[in-house]
Amino acid sequence: MRINYPLTLFYDGACGVCSTEIRYYRSIADQRIKFVNIASADFDAEAFGKTIDEFQEKLHARDADGHYYSGVEAFRRLWEALPSPLYPLLSSFVGLPGVHLTARAGYAVFARYRHLLPSSRATNCQIFNKQ
């Protein structure tokens, strides 16, 4: 799938698991990826046509044409944009029929229960605070 850059990645910076992973991606990303912390006080979900609950439910990415990707598909678009030959291969692998289904199921469980993980409890995970 060909997308137009920049790719904007919306992540929960108040979640320890999420922010740790995004910190790594930031360290290797180039100008094709913009990172937006949805836990920031000045973040306005409605400006992007979504609710904060939608953004907190799972990772979201938006390409330059305004198309949204969420969950595993957001990760796949991120990996395709990273300047390493390994991440686009990972995206292709995760796109395989059986692998894709397994990845989606695994991510759904992770996203639902990420607030229970130790590094999320140590921070101010938005989902944890709602429950």
For the chain, the structural domain boundaries read 7-130
- List pLDDT tens digits, range 48-102: 999 999 999 999 999 999 999 999 999 999 999 999 999 999 999 999 999 999 9
How many Cβ atoms are within 10 Å of 55's Cβ, its own excluded? 21
Rounded to whole angstroms, the Cα distance separating 2 from 18 reads 26
Given a cut of 50, whether residue 116 has pLDDT beyond it is yes
Mean pLDDT, the chain, integer: 90
How far is the first Cα of the chain from the last one, in angstroms, to the nearest whole number? 37
